[in-house]
């Protein structure tokens, strides 16, 4: 038995497939086709959760995504927080519990897969209710590529809840599924509508299978759909109105009750009172009555209900309303009174009831329309906001989202919208095949927002526990806009995004302010329409696939050698190579000693390399670099600095002149793409007349730095054809030769101050070169040692010792700024008042008096006693093997004039005195460069 409240027959549930589940520790049985909410109601469970702020008991209020109350935590098969029970399809073995407010994320990794698809179509139809299906059928008949998305497990929309015209639904859906150019996606929620008809949806592919979900199938899939035309057939949600204790379990939207009865075969109660402002609740009352639910009374807020017809035996009370509700965990009685002039009058009528069905009218689901840039305008006849038709994107709205609430009207509008969408994309639609439907006479509803009663228990936003009293407090403090009231009260900010409460909030605020609700308007609609898991948004882009990983040709060797790696941009660079038992400090000191006293080598392949060629290449580089490049001779190398037009250092590197019309420039590792883009931008947008071509060759050349006083002997032995003598191969020149039998270009460049060479070979030959060097027992070193060696020489790293506010002069690189060139990028800025100041922050060395290793980023102050005047900060800080102590580089105001002075570094536990020195701490004469 799947519950005492299950009807004997009917509904779209499979009575031959009982499902066992557990809720709040109790075993229940439901049926295939149930939601968790319908299965609980079938078992007579109304009280599902507690409210977040007030802790009030809460029941099932709605039957779909608009549910504000019945929030549950899924525990098994995999934890998932905060789902409305109305959207959880029941499966065998489901374990869940009701929530008070927040849920709990899983504390173990999610084993499920998530993925994403990009899709393109002529016509996208959002919603597969009567309007959406009619639109899709007509658009598909034209041959257009059509995608239909709907959040339910099967198409039909409101027809599922009414359980009518299901043959037509099946026939249309079958036709859509069979059409080669049509894709019908169920369990798929369109949650974002972005520029140029870019609609993002999430498809829940295995959530409904529970533990039976196949491991190979992705659990959720994000669809990124670019549609030429969109039909929004997103329907309408019923709303409640604010009255005292309107949140008690047993109070339910009238339309939801009909859905539970007709779609799920569940009687939501035994005896009901109906409170309505419009015709729609009458059909619900008649349906429930026919299914054996006693209808005690229908209170209609209209004085003349017109076409409304209460079921047999129920009292019809025009102009009456709910004055009170009895029962906390579940209602037991409803008190009705006549309403006149906004106040209750006359005797009370108290009726025993376990169900209070409310219809305060219907709100078109305009969220996607609003996200698309459209406005929602208030329709007085409708008593609701609906799309104003002025959205600039290529879209149609059809059915109840457009404010059309009769089935006949929805079908006709859907068919017409589908035809317009097809025609707009160049297709000829066929004639629609629509079911015969009645055209009932409709008596207009009345917009009522509140009933007299305690404002502190009259709930407006059930999920956020916002009451009429809260809104009165907001307007009382002077708030006059719906947006301000939303932020002050949090109404509409819960994960139901105010689907049932948004219009109500606007209506109540307008009433309190005495303004027209249409002038007040709605709050802004923003994606996502419904909650989306981060896992779905991340898709497969997690772990290793989060970002590309770039490795050099020598990576496997580094790994085998036990290197630890540092991320530099997307590159993995060896950080240091610890030997047995060594910590980082010991390894780096050893590597530094090898480079300063013997010979060491580093994989420098990640350096950005750009081939610049063309007749105007020299002119071009003269404009980009601060120093003169055009005077460089082929065969020679020059260090160069690039600035932005504001004079701040952008990058530095070496320029190798290969020929009159060809250069190879290097960039810092992290800046390679930036500099290539920079060159392209100037060439394309400012100097298109220059005949220059730039090509990235970073991954064509592998580079090995061979460093140390013994490097000349090593190179000589490996390159017998090369004159390695001091005069034969001078500093800042290059030679093409053969090294270890490999074609190579050797540059005499030093980033350490030692005699050093950079050997460039084809990426393919890198391992052969490296192994030939390694066989000679040469010590490999990583980026940490490189940093120490360069810092001992005062060589700045752009991006570490600079931050975009530092000029070449600030770095002590004034020598690299040409005085003779007429112009170069940045030149004009060096004479700007601010840039020419002499008290700018300048790069200096620091020697901590107490031998501390200063933290990089530590602030430097002028004195140990307050006031602590900030002078600058530490940019680099290391242990030096060569100096036998710690040292640092820092940017300090007017620092070069403060050499020899003591300033104070701010540490976690106080201040430490440090002495300012020049930036070059090791071999300031440059005696070691030539070996």
Partner 1 sequence: MMLIPCPWCGPRDESEFHYGGQAGVAYPDDPGALTDAEWARYLFFRDNPKGPFRERWSHTAGCRRWFSLVRDTVTNEIVA
Binding site for partner 1 (CB under 8 A): 194-196, 198, 224, 226, 373, 392, 645-646, 677, 680-681, 684-686, 822-823, 827-829, 832-833
The span from the first CA to the last CA of the chain, in angstroms, equals 93
Could you give the CA distance from residue 116 to residue 218 in angstroms, rounded to a whole number? 9
Nearest-approach distance from CB 371 to partner 1, in angstroms: 12
For the record, the structure tokens of 60 come out as: 């099932």
Nearer to partner 1, 683 or 854 (CB): 683
Rounded to whole angstroms, what are the CA distances from 180 to 143, 144, 184, 255, 618? 9, 10, 11, 36, 59
- Residue 811's nearest CA partner among 883, 890, 923, 905 is 890
Nearer to partner 1, 374 or 872 (CB): 374
Backbone angles phi, psi at 793, to 5 degrees: -95, 0
Could you give the CA distance from residue 258 to residue 290 in angstroms, rounded to a whole number? 11
| C-beta separation of 513 from 551 below 8 A | no
| C-beta separation of 97 from 392 below 8 A | no
E strands in 424-563: 459-461, 466-467
| C-beta separation of 384 from 218 below 8 A | no
Nearest-approach distance from CB 830 to partner 1, in angstroms: 11
Nearer to partner 1, 684 or 820 (CB): 684
- 471-481 burial, b for 16+ CB within 10 Å, e for fewer? bbebbeeebee
Rounded to whole angstroms, what are the CA distances from 498 to 135, 235, 529, 752? 28, 16, 10, 63
Nearest-approach distance from CB 925 to partner 1, in angstroms: 37
Nearest-approach distance from CB 624 to partner 1, in angstroms: 12
Nearer to partner 1, 383 or 647 (CB): 647
Nearest-approach distance from CB 544 to partner 1, in angstroms: 21
Nearest-approach distance from CB 618 to partner 1, in angstroms: 19
- Residue 749's nearest CA partner among 731, 761, 736, 735 is 731
For the record, the structure tokens of 745 come out as: 């270009």
Nearer to partner 1, 394 or 868 (CB): 394
Nearer to partner 1, 433 or 646 (CB): 646
Nearer to partner 1, 303 or 681 (CB): 681
Could you give the CA distance from residue 450 to residue 699 in angstroms, rounded to a whole number? 70
Nearest-approach distance from CB 803 to partner 1, in angstroms: 18
Partners of 779 in beta bridges: 600
Nearest-approach distance from CB 607 to partner 1, in angstroms: 22
Nearer to partner 1, 1 or 822 (CB): 822
DSSP 732-748: TBEEEEEETTEEEEEE-
Nearer to partner 1, 27 or 834 (CB): 834
Nearer to partner 1, 292 or 645 (CB): 645
Nearer to partner 1, 582 or 646 (CB): 646
Could you give the CA distance from residue 171 to residue 219 in angstroms, rounded to a whole number? 29
Could you give the CA distance from residue 321 to residue 449 in angstroms, rounded to a whole number? 12
Nearer to partner 1, 483 or 823 (CB): 823
Q: Is residue 442 helix, strand or coil?
A: coil
Nearer to partner 1, 268 or 647 (CB): 647
Nearer to partner 1, 314 or 643 (CB): 643
For helices 783-792 and 584-597, what crossing angle results, to 10°? 60
- H-helix segments, 438-501: 468-476, 482-489
Q: Is residue 584 helix, strand or coil?
A: helix
For the record, the structure tokens of 476 come out as: 């009382």
Partners of 655 in beta bridges: 638, 665
Rounded to whole angstroms, what are the CA distances from 103 to 79, 82, 499, 518? 9, 5, 20, 37
Nearest-approach distance from CB 687 to partner 1, in angstroms: 9
Nearer to partner 1, 227 or 274 (CB): 227
Nearest-approach distance from CB 194 to partner 1, in angstroms: 5
Backbone angles phi, psi at 642, to 5 degrees: -115, 140
Nearer to partner 1, 534 or 687 (CB): 687
Nearest-approach distance from CB 264 to partner 1, in angstroms: 38
Place of tokens 């019309």: 661
The maximal CA–CA distance of the chain, rounded, in angstroms, is 115
Nearest-approach distance from CB 827 to partner 1, in angstroms: 7
Nearest-approach distance from CB 831 to partner 1, in angstroms: 8
Nearest-approach distance from CB 348 to partner 1, in angstroms: 55
Rounded to whole angstroms, what are the CA distances from 656 to 5, 272, 599, 666? 85, 88, 25, 8
| C-beta separation of 468 from 475 below 8 A | no
Number of Cβ atoms within 10 Å of the Cβ of 412: 20
Nearest-approach distance from CB 825 to partner 1, in angstroms: 8
Nearest-approach distance from CB 686 to partner 1, in angstroms: 5
Nearest-approach distance from CB 748 to partner 1, in angstroms: 34
Nearer to partner 1, 224 or 289 (CB): 224
Cβ within 8 Å of residue 434, ≥6 positions away = 134, 168, 411, 412, 415
Q: Is residue 31 helix, strand or coil?
A: strand
Partners of 252 in beta bridges: 357
Could you give the CA distance from residue 838 to residue 815 in angstroms, rounded to a whole number? 16
Partners of 124 in beta bridges: 147, 230
Nearest-approach distance from CB 820 to partner 1, in angstroms: 13
Nearer to partner 1, 22 or 644 (CB): 644
- Residue 72's nearest CA partner among 63, 59, 55 is 59
Q: Is residue 198 helix, strand or coil?
A: strand
């Amino acid at each position: 038995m799947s519950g005492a409240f299950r009807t004997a027959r009917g509904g779209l549930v499979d009575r031959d497939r009982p499902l066992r589940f557990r809720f709040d520790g109790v075993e229940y049985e439901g049926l295939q086709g149930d939601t968790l909410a319908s299965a609980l109601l079938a078992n007579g469970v109304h009280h599902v959760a507690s409210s977040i702020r007030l802790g009030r008991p809460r029941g099932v209020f709605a039957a779909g995504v608009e549910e504000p109350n019945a929030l549950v935590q899924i525990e098994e098969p995999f934890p998932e927080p905060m789902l409305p029970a109305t959207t959880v399809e029941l499966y065998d073995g489901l374990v869940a519990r009701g929530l008070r407010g927040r849920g709990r994320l899983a504390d173990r990794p999610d084993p499920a897969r998530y993925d994403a698809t990009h899709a393109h179509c002529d016509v996208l139809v959002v919603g597969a209710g009567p309007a959406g299906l009619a639109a899709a059928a007509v658009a598909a008949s034209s041959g257009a590529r059509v995608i239909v998305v709907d959040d339910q497990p099967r198409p039909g929309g409101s027809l599922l809840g009414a359980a009518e015209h299901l043959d037509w639904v099946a026939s249309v859906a079958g036709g859509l599924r069979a059409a080669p150019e049509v894709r019908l996606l169920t369990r798929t929620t369109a949650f974002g509508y972005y520029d140029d008809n870019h609609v993002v949806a999430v498809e829940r592919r295995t959530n409904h299978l529970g533990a039976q979900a196949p491991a190979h199938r992705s659990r959720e899939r994000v669809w990124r759909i670019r549609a030429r035309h969109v039909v929004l057939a997103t329907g309408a949600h019923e709303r409640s109105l604010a009255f005292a204790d309107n949140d008690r379990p047993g109070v339910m939207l009238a339309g939801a009750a009909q859905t539970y009865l007709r779609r799920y075969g569940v009687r939501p109660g035994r005896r009901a009172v109906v409170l309505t402002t419009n015709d729609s609740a009458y059909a619900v009352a008649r349906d429930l009555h026919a299914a054996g639910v006693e209808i005690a009374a229908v209170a209609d807020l209209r004085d003349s209900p017109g076409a409304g017809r209460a079921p047999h035996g129920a009292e019809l009370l025009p102009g009456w309303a709910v004055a009170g509700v009895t029962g906390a965990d579940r209602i037991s009685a409803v008190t009705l009174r006549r309403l006149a002039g906004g106040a209750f009058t006359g005797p009370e009528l108290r009726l025993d009831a376990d169900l209070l069905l409310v219809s305060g009218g219907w709100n078109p689901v305009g969220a996607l329309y609003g996200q698309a840039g459209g406005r929602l305008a208030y329709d007085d006849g409708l008593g609701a906001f609906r799309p104003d038709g002025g959205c600039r994107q290529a879209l149609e709205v059809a059915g109840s989202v457009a404010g059309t609430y009769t089935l006949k009207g929805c079908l006709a509008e859907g068919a017409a919208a589908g035809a317009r969408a097809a025609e707009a994309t160049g297709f000829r639609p066929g004639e629609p095949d629509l079911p015969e439907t009645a055209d009932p006479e409709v008596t207009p509803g009345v917009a009522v927002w509140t009933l007299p009663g305690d404002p502190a228990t009259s709930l407006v936003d059930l999920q956020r526990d916002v009451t009429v009293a809260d809104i009165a407090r907001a307007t009382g403090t002077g708030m006059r806009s719906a947006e301000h009231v939303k932020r002050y009260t949090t109404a509409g900010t819960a994960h139901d995004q105010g689907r049932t409460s948004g219009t109500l909030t606007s209506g109540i605020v307008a009433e309190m302010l005495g303004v027209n609700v249409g002038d007040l308007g709605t709050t802004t609609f923003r994606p996502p329409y419904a909650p989306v898991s981060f896992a779905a948004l991340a898709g497969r882009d997690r772990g290793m696939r989060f970002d590309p990983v770039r490795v050099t040709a020598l990576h496997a060797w580094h790994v085998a050698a036990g290197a630890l790696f540092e991320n530099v941009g997307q590159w993995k660079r060896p950080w240091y190579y610890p030997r047995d038992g060594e910590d980082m400090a010991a390894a780096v000191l050893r590597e530094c000693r090898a480079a300063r006293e013997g010979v060491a080598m580093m994989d420098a392949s990640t350096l950005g390399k750009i081939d610049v060629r063309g007749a105007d290449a020299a002119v071009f580089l003269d404009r980009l670099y601060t120093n003169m490049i055009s005077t460089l001779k082929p065969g020679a190398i020059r260090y160069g600095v690039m600035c932005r037009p504001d004079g701040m250092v952008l990058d530095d590197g070496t320029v190798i002149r290969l020929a009159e019309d060809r250069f190879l420039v290097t960039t810092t590792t992290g800046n390679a793409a930036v500099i290539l883009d920079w060159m392209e931008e100037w060439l394309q947008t400012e100097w298109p007349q220059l005949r220059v071509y730039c090509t990235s060759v970073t991954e064509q050349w592998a580079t090995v730095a061979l460093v140390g006083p013994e490097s000349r002997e090593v190179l000589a032995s490996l390159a017998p054809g090369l004159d390695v003598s001091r005069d034969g191969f001078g500093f800042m020149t290059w030679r093409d030769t053969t090294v270890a039998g490999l074609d190579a270009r050797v540059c005499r460049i030093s980033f350490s101050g030692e005699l050093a060479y950079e050997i460039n070979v084809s990426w393919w030959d890198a391992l052969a070169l490296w192994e030939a060097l390694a066989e000679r027992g040469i010590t490999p070193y990583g980026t940490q040692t490189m940093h120490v060696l360069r810092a001992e020489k005062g060589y700045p790293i752009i991006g570490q010792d600079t931050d975009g506010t530092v000029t070449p002069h600030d770095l002590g690189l004034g020598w690299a700024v040409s005085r003779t060139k007429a112009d170069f990028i940045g030149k004009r800025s060096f004479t700007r008042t601010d840039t020419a100041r002499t008290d700018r922050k300048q790069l200096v060395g620091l020697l901590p008096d107490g031998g501390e290793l200063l933290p990089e980023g530590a602030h430097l102050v002028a004195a140990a006693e307050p006031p602590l005047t900030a002078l600058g900060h530490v940019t680099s800080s290391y242990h030096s093997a060569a100096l036998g102590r710690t040292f640092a580089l820092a940017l300090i105001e007017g620092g070069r004039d403060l050499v020899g002075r003591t300033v104070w570094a701010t540490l976690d536990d106080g201040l430490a005195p440090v002495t300012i020195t020049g930036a070059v701490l090791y071999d300031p004469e440059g005696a070691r460069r030539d070996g």
